[in-house]
Every structure is written in C-alpha cells, then in structure tokens.
Structure 1
Amino acid sequence: MRLFSPSVILPTALPWSVTAAPAEQTKGNRSIIERDGVTYHVFEHAATGAKMEFVKNSGICETTPGVNQYSGYLSVGIDMNMWFWFFESRNNASNAPLAAWFNGGPGCSSMIGLFQENGPCHFVNGESTPSPNNNSFNNVANVLYVDQPIGVGFSYGVDNATSTKTAAPYVWKLLQAFYDQFPEYESRDFAIFTESYGGHYGPEFANYIQQQNKAIKGGTVSGQEINLVALGINNGWFDSGIQEKAYIDYAYNNTYKKLINETQRNSLLDFYANDCLPEVEKCTRNGSNQECEDASETCGSGIEQRIIDSADFDVYDVREPSNDPYPPATYSSYLKQPDVVKDIGAKSTYQECPDAAYSKFQGTGDIQSGIGVLLWAGDADWICNYIGVQKVAETVDFPGVTEFGNTELQPYTVNGEKKGEFKAVDNFSYLRVYGAGHEVPYYQPEVALQVFEQTIRQKAISST
C-alpha cells in the first residue's frame, strides 16, 4: 500500500538444459528447464503467444503437506513479465473455487496481501521468517496473487499500462494462459478480491472479463470464458465526489479520535463545496487527463493534506501514530533475500510500491465507477474510510438499490461475537469491520475468512 493522494478518478543469460515434456498442441508447448540449479516449468501459450515460466513447490510460504504452489512469470508482451504466485486450496482443491487477489496503490505489489493479510503464511509480531497462517484464504479456495502493472513487486520489463482500462487486457491474458496451463480450473467459479485502489481495479477487471466472455460467445474473440461469480473490495477508493467529503466527516467524527476541530471542519467543508467538488464534477463530465489531474491536486492539497497535517496519525490506522505504522513490513526484507528470490523463481528485485507505475495511473483520467458483490471496510482506516465506502455502496446502481439504501445496519457476528455491522440485499453486501485498519484481513483474520468464503460461494454475507 502507499500513502497516496488518491486519483480523483479514479539478468545475464545463463546456460541451461531443456527436457521435453508432453505437449498439448492445441494449448501450447511445454518443457522443463534447469537453470542455476532451479527447475522451471515452461508453457508457451498458443492462443495468446505468451510464455509462462514457473517454479513448482518452492517450499516458501505454503508448507501444508500435499498442497501445491506455483510461482513465476507470464510474458504478456515483448519484455513484459507479470509475476504470479498460485496456491492450491488446503481443502478439496480439486473442487474449490478460484480467486485472484490484487493489491491497490495504484502500483502496489500483491505480495502485501499474500504476506501481510490473507496468504498461507505471515510474519507474527514482526519475526524475520514466516509461519503458517491458519486463516489463509486458501483454506477455502485456490488463490492466485498477481503483481500488476509491470514494474510492481517482482514483475519487470516494459510497462504499457497507464490506467485500469489499459491494465485489464494483460490480466485477462494471464488468466487465459493460466487456464490452459492448468485446465482443471477452467470451469471453476472465479472471484476477484482486491483493496484500496482496487475500487477501480476490481470493477474494471470484472467488466473486461464480462466483455470478453460475451465476445467469445459471439465468436469474435478466441479464448476460455471465465466464470466470474464474485467481486470483493476491501477499503476501496471509488468515487471522489463522495469520498473526499468522507475524509472530512471521518476526521471530525470517528469512534477512535478526533483529527480536526469544528472550525477546521467547517473550513474544509466550505473548500469541498466551492473548490474540490466542482473540479471533480468537471473531471467526471469531460474526462480529460488535465482536468482530472487538476481535480486530484485541488482536493489532495486542499482537503487530504490539510487533515494529514492537523494531527499525528497513520492514515491507514488512525489508532497508530504516523511514525509507527502498523502492520510491520518484515516480509519486504524477506523477499529480498537471495535464497528466497532464487527458490521462488523471481528474476528481479522486489519493489513494493514503485513510483513509476503510480505516476502513470495518476496522470490519467482513470474514473471507472465501482460495482460489486461485497464492499467492506475496517473502521480505523482513514485513507479509504468506512463512511465513504458505505455512501458509495448506497449509490451502486443495481435492482435493489432503493431497498439497500433503506435497510438498517445489523450486527455482524463470527461464532456469536460481534465484529462489525452490515446490510445486504440480494447478493450485494456492505460491511463495516470493527477494530481494523486498511488491511482488514491482518487485523481481523477470522472475520475476513468468513466474509471471503461467504462471498465466493455467491452468498450475501450473514452472521454466524
């Protein structure tokens, strides 16, 4: 994750030996390469011209006996290498659904989600090595973590993605190659889970998948239909017109600590109405890059920065001082250890949230609105706070929007213990999670796993 002013709109070659493996000519060519003591499985995908190269069962992170993992790259274009790490489900992998996780930023690595939030291992109390995570999302699903756009995390090479729309085709190409490499997953239910700037990623990726499915059915695109059934967005950034004001509302009236006084609040609300909102509306109406950049700068400096300067707090968890961010980032050093990098098949230096990818996204009118099955938020997060997320949820255009807006929040419980409040109509749900910062699965892992399982099973969330 990064402390961002959210866009209002949101090696030297080595010798190797090659051993031929059985090839499925209709899908692509397969081979096994030994390089520098590491065995790589290679799949040249016929349909997209992409090449997948990965390590099987590195022994890093997932240590549950009999649970397979695969980590490596898909070349989605010339010198465009997208990193993925896939974990089979710990339970009933042959039938469990498939989920993909994307961190936000924009331009932050999904290794954040893997190691800090919901992956098979985590770093307890900042320890230097990981231990098993009993609340991993792969308890109930096969989970694919993807570093995108190119240049983020372990992905490397040429980055042509400048917006969520231009990033979506590369994600679709990765999924197409993944399905042909692992055909057992082709017909599985598929879900996208994401957070933060994923409020843009998730809806746009989902929309692109649906468009491609329609084109495949119509015979204008060749590929595998993706059985998309669920979309979950944790502390998402969706709509500046709503969420810029929520910065002020949350800063003045949250359950942890007041960040601004009444005089500051009134001044900020005046600035929002007379300066920020008109710029946002101009950006939304016309959509030019310059107008959207102007809106981002106006709102960022006039609202966000003024609140940040007003108090000592961590924007991702207001309970923590700004000089002591939480959760700890031990995993980042771990992923730079040479033996770990070698074992997982990585070919670049890990970069958590490089500036280059973020700058490309910030400089465009990336304004996709968000729709989803589940919008949820930890209530100690300021940067994408629950007040704004709830207001966004109540404006999502779906058949039950009026009923949803009129529905009162109810307690959300896990095994009888109250963990938040929620409301749901049909398959659309909103959840405020108590005692959680920006990365909800880190702070409330039991809640996150329950919510994940309910959503991926195509259910509205409910108390247990």
Structure 2
Amino acid sequence: MLAFTVILASLAALGVALPTSSSQNGSPVSARDTATKYITFEHAATGSRLDYVNNSGICETTPGVNQYSGYLSVGNNMNMFFWFFEARNNPSTAPLVTWFNGGPGCSSMIGLFQENGPCHFEDGASEPSLNPYSWNNYANMLYIDQPIGVGFSYGTDDVSSTQQAAPHVWTLLQAFFAQFPQYESRDFGVFTESYGGHYGPEFAEYFEQQNTAIDKGTVKGEHLNLVALGINNGWFDPTLQYKAYVDYAYNNTYKALISKSQYTSYLSKYNSDCVPALKKCASSGSNSDCSTAQTTCYNDIEGPLSQVSDFDVYDVREPSNDPYPPSTYSTYLQQTSVQNAIGAKQKYQECPDAVYDKFSSTGDDSRSTLSQLSSVVQSGNVTTLVWAGDADFICNWFGGLAAANAIDYDGQATFSNAGLKPYTMNGQEVGTFKTQGKLSFLRVYGAGHEVPYYQPEVALQVFEQTMKGQAISST
C-alpha cells in the first residue's frame, strides 16, 4: 500500500461521508468553500493530488451502491477526471475495470452514458434512468477522461501520442489504489473501443512492463492484476484497416456502398499511394512521415468512401443524420448543478479538436499497435477479446478480424486458419466468433460502432465471460 502525505485538517466537521479506506491512507485535507465539497488527498509516491466527491447521487441511484468522481493530478497542472461506480453485486469481491473511449481525444462519458454505464438516456430523454445492462452489474467500473483536455479533464496537455498517454493513466491508477486500497488485489480489466485499438494494447503492455519493473525493484508501485483486455470496433493497424474500408464498402452484408469498378479503383489507389506511405512511416518512424501517411490514406480512401452515399459511418444502416445513440447526455452534463454534484471543474467537452490535432501532428493514427497487442496476448496472462458491431463502417469488423488474425502468439496459426462459428445467447444466434487460447474474436450482429448501446444484453454477457478469464462461449 502506498503512503499518503496528510496536509490539512479532517473534513469530519463538515459532515462529509468518507470511504472506509481513508483511515488506512491518511486523512482528507480540505474542502473548498464552493458549491462543491471535495475530499482531498496528496499521494506522495507519485506526487499526485486527489480531489473527489463522494456519492453525488448522479447517474447511479441504486440503493447502497457507492460512487466517487473527481480529479487526480497526473503531472504538472494535469488534472484527469475519473468517475467510479461500485459494483451493484458483491462489490467487495467484484473485479475492477477501466473504460476508455477513443477519438483520439474523446471523453469516456460517452461510454458511461451511451453504452455500458449505470444510467442512460432512453429515446433521447432529458434525464437519465437506470441501465439494467450496466457493466457495474458485474464489476466495479472506473471511467477515465484522458488525455488532458478531454471531457472534464483540464490543464496542460502535453500528450501527443498513445505512448505518451500510458504513463499518466498508470499514475492515476496508482493514486486511485492508494486511496482505495480495497481494489488493489482485484482482477483488473481494460475495456475500450475505436481508437482504443491504440489505447488498449499500449496501456496493457505498459501496465505489464511496470509490473515487471516493480518486481525488479526499479519502480515503486502497486501491481495491476491485469487479467482481461477488450476492444470493440478498434483501430489497430492502418495497413490492414484502410484496405478493410474498401472491402467493407463493397462486401458488407447490409448494403453495398460502391460498385465493382469503384472497388477496383479504390483498391488500386490503396496499393499505389496509401501502402507506400504507411511503409515509409513504419520504416522511419518519423512524425512527418507518419502524419503524411495519415493524410494520404485519409484523402485517398477513408474520406472519399465515407462520402460515396448518405450513410452514418458509425451505423451503415442509417443516414448520416442518424440521431442515435442520443446525444442528450452531453446537454445534461453541461448543467451547473450536475457539474457541481460530480465535482467537475470545467465545462464538458466531448471530443475537443485540440487533442485530436496533437495526435495527428505525430501521425499516431498511422502507427500499428499489433506489436503491443501481440506482446499482451503472448504473455499468457491476459484474456483478450477483439470484437465489433457489424454495422459500423469507421472501424469495421473486416478490419478487426484481419487485425486479430495478425496477432503474433503461439496460437496464431490455429486461430487465423479457423472459421467463424455462431455465437449464441440463450440459444439465439447473435454473432459469429472464434477462439484460441486466451484470444477471442466476435462479430456482433445488428450493432454499430458502440456495441453496448445497440446490443446491451449481448455486450454484458461477453464482458462477464471475458472478465472471468475464459474464452467467450455460446449460452
């Protein structure tokens, strides 16, 4: 357990309810004279500061289920927002799971309110209601807004790549464990989507490297008992996935977006322009070459294909003005009363351009994370799920399957040569899948980019199976 430095007086006189762990880690240090009363700690080992509110009453209203939300400073003037929800069932033994949305530069409040969190906005309602398929039915859930500048996080944003983002997330988790040590030894999972195809592999590999360094005594910290990694509709490898845009546009099961002649033309452009640019990026590793590759492939492939007809790139079945998932949650989070209740210190920004632009400047999008993903799977410690809703275009299941087949581990030959078989829930076919060792791939029928929104019951079953450390299986 990491030590805290106590710097001021207790909040007891203010009548603030404290987590049961506080006596083990130090006393709360201050409460600001504002509409929000914060519990504040400093974490000496990482030099971070924790400001949070206890049981805001927002979103999770299930009796007896605790929640904490607020900020951890993860660097000089770098304040990362988190929102933690205790498991609805067996919280004292349930695993701990972190959720990250993608972008790069999109808030994890998207996942919380539109996908797998304790509440949602049904049919565009102005107020949230309880989500019966929330992932905190099974696990203690921690939603993190990163990098700085995303969602409610604020301060100096010096992160311009996935690799740079990983240490800040690890720092947050270290300070979180120090304040809430009851979660230190739990099974730990990382789930993410979209640009999470970059975040997930990089974060998981970094966490495992830090565990090794802790064992060697070169780093001080708490082990992250990483047992599961899940990435739906992820962006893993640009070489595989730009081609998948062309293949999906012509061959998806919902509607052809391009003709045969267009398919041939796009494929030719992919091979003549996009592939060489990506190879140059991979060879030199320079920001300039990788940024150029991103621009080249977008202008030749992704951009034009997304405009060939009126369709939603996140759900090919719908027109581009598709109102689902409802965006009303964002309006709700702009309310001053809600922000005060959850301890937010700035206005909500769902996907600010500044963060995306920083990642674009380094060509981070053009850098494959297959090496990191292979390292995680090859370790044998982490049950890994690559899954995708089959109505999504932007990170479609064709590309997800190609990436899964390319993961380098002991079972690769068997996995890549295996066909997909029906995946059922309560006897009903809801997708197709395959597994080998600790790696699974799943195509989910009738789901767009945000799988837990479109197929919440299926997503909860898949989530639970993966967190239990088993290859997914039909029920």
The answer to whether the superposition gives a TM-score over 0.5 is yes
- 1:236-270 deviations in Å (ceiling 9; x for gaps): 00101100010000001111111111111110000
Contact 2:87 / 2:136 at 8 angstroms: preserved in 1?
A: yes
Contact 1:27 / 1:47 at 8 angstroms: preserved in 2?
A: no
Aligned to 1:5: none
From 181, 184, 197, the counterpart of 2:182: 184
Aligned to 1:121: 119
Other structure's SS at 2:38 match: strand
RMSD over aligned CA atoms reads: 1.6
Query: What are the equivalent positions in structure 2 for 1:258-277 lying under 5 Å apart?
Result: 258-277=256-275
Is residue 240 from structure 1 mapped to residue 231 from structure 2 by the alignment?
A: no
Query: What are the equivalent positions in structure 2 for 1:201-216 lying under 5 Å apart?
Result: 201-216=199-214
User: Residues 368 and 168 (structure 1 numbering): CA distance in 2 closer, same or farther, change over 3 Å?
Assistant: farther
From 331, 334, 356, the counterpart of 2:332: 334
Query: What are the equivalent positions in structure 2 for 1:77-226 lying under 5 Å apart?
Result: 77-226=75-224
User: Residues 20 and 326 (structure 1 numbering): CA distance in 2 closer, same or farther, change over 3 Å?
Assistant: closer
- 1:315-368 deviations in Å (ceiling 9; x for gaps): 000111012242110100000011111111100000000000011111114324
Q: What TM-score do the two structures reach when normalised by structure 1?
A: 0.94
Is residue 19 from structure 1 mapped to residue 10 from structure 2 by the alignment?
A: yes
Letter in 2 for 1:173: T
Question: What is the CA–CA distance in structure 1 between the aligned matches of 2:22 and 2:101, rounded to whole Å?
Answer: 33
- 1:385-415 deviations in Å (ceiling 9; x for gaps): 0001001100101110000012121111111
Query: What are the equivalent positions in structure 2 for 1:418-433 lying under 5 Å apart?
Result: 418-433=429-444
CA shift, 1:304, in A, is: 1.1
Question: What is the CA–CA distance in structure 1 between the aligned matches of 2:23 and 2:168, rounded to whole Å?
Answer: 23
Return 357-366 or 385-394, whichever deviates more: 357-366
From 388, 396, 409, the counterpart of 2:399: 388
Aligned to 2:469: 458
Letter in 2 for 1:436: A
Letter in 2 for 1:111: M
- 1:82-131 deviations in Å (ceiling 9; x for gaps): 00000000000000000000000000000000000000000000000000
User: Residues 316 and 95 (structure 1 numbering): CA distance in 2 closer, same or farther, change over 3 Å?
Assistant: same
Contact 2:9 / 2:27 at 8 angstroms: preserved in 1?
A: no
Question: What is the CA–CA distance in structure 1 between the aligned matches of 2:253 and 2:240, rounded to whole Å?
Answer: 20
Moved over 3 A (4+): 17-29
Is residue 438 from structure 1 mapped to residue 436 from structure 2 by the alignment?
A: no
Return 21-30 or 452-461, whichever deviates more: 21-30
Other structure's SS at 2:31 match: strand
User: Residues 97 and 26 (structure 1 numbering): CA distance in 2 closer, same or farther, change over 3 Å?
Assistant: closer
- 1:160-183 deviations in Å (ceiling 9; x for gaps): 111011111100000000000000
From 36, 52, 55, the counterpart of 1:54: 52
Aligned to 1:449: 460
Answer 1 or 2: higher relative contact order, Cα 8 Å, separation at least 6: 1
CA shift, 1:157, in A, is: 0.6
Return 108-117 or 321-330, whichever deviates more: 321-330
- 1:284-327 deviations in Å (ceiling 9; x for gaps): 12111111111111110111111122111010001110122421
Question: What is the CA–CA distance in structure 2 between the aligned matches of 1:181 and 1:41, rounded to whole Å?
Answer: 11
Question: What is the CA–CA distance in structure 1 between the aligned matches of 2:33 and 2:458, rounded to whole Å?
Answer: 42
Structure having the larger proportion of residues in helix: 2
Query: What are the equivalent positions in structure 2 for 1:361-400 lying under 5 Å apart?
Result: 361-366=359-364, 367-370=367-370, 371=373, 373-400=384-411
Contact 1:204 / 1:368 at 8 angstroms: preserved in 2?
A: no
Aligned to 1:321: 319
Letter in 2 for 1:457: K
- 1:194-249 deviations in Å (ceiling 9; x for gaps): 00000000010111111111111111111111111110001000101100010000
CA shift, 1:32, in A, is: 4.7
From 414, 419, 422, the counterpart of 1:411: 422
Identify unmatched segments of 5+ residues in structure 1.
1-16
Contact 2:102 / 2:194 at 8 angstroms: preserved in 1?
A: yes
Return 447-456 or 29-38, whichever deviates more: 29-38
Question: What is the CA–CA distance in structure 1 between the aligned matches of 2:471 and 2:357, rounded to whole Å?
Answer: 36
CA shift, 1:25, in A, is: 9.7
Is residue 65 from structure 1 mapped to residue 63 from structure 2 by the alignment?
A: yes
Question: What is the CA–CA distance in structure 2 between the aligned matches of 1:67 and 1:456, rounded to whole Å?
Answer: 21
Question: What is the CA–CA distance in structure 2 between the aligned matches of 1:28 and 1:360, rounded to whole Å?
Answer: 38
Question: What is the CA–CA distance in structure 1 between the aligned matches of 2:391 and 2:28, rounded to whole Å?
Answer: 48
Letter in 2 for 1:19: S
Question: What is the CA–CA distance in structure 2 between the aligned matches of 1:24 and 1:215, rounded to whole Å?
Answer: 28
Contact 1:63 / 1:132 at 8 angstroms: preserved in 2?
A: yes
CA shift, 1:36, in A, is: 2.0
Question: What is the CA–CA distance in structure 2 between the aligned matches of 1:308 and 1:208, rounded to whole Å?
Answer: 34
Aligned to 1:11: none
Contact 1:33 / 1:40 at 8 angstroms: preserved in 2?
A: yes
Contact 1:103 / 1:197 at 8 angstroms: preserved in 2?
A: yes
Aligned length: 448
Q: What TM-score do the two structures reach when normalised by structure 2?
A: 0.92
Other structure's SS at 2:73 match: strand
